[in-house]
Amino acid sequence: MQTLGILWCVFGGYRVLGGLIGMFFLKAMALRGFGDSRWGYGDGGPFGSHFMAALLPFIAVYTAVVVALAFFVGFSLLTRKPWGRTLAIVAGCLSLLKPIFGTALGIYTLWVLAPAASGDEYERIADRS
């Protein structure tokens, strides 16, 4: 359980980094930060600067929610909360949609926590305080 909790916290850090880099590049493209005026993304077309700049708040909120979920799952597994197993299974299913690291973490989470024997073991070690 401790390894799985640490992996979820690391995944949260990875998602923070990915979200910040994505927002940086989107903002640079929307405000013509790359290239000159002939560069295609800042011309104000259907996917021009106004549309792309409007995506920044949505990306920021999505990143914050996903990161909070990952850290919350990691914390609940590390502190052995009774509801941590259920939350981790749900988050593991959701992370299957994130290619490479998310898929691997989702598969590992389901492999560790989904069997019935794992549920019984988790109930024994869960912190009931």
Tens place of pLDDT per residue across the chain (129 aa): 899 999 999 999 999 999 999 888 877 777 665 555 555 544 555 455 666 777 788 889 999 999 999 999 999 999 999 899 999 999 999 999 999 999 999 999 999 998 888 888 888 888 765
CA-atom Rg of the chain in angstroms: 19
pLDDT at 86: 92
- What gap in Å lies between CA 93 and CA 63, rounded to an integer? 17
Number of domains into which the chain is organized: 1
Single pTM value for the model: 0.78
pLDDT at 43: 53
What domain range includes position 71? Answer: 2-125
Alpha helices in the chain (DSSP H): 2-30, 49-78, 84-95, 101-113, 116-125
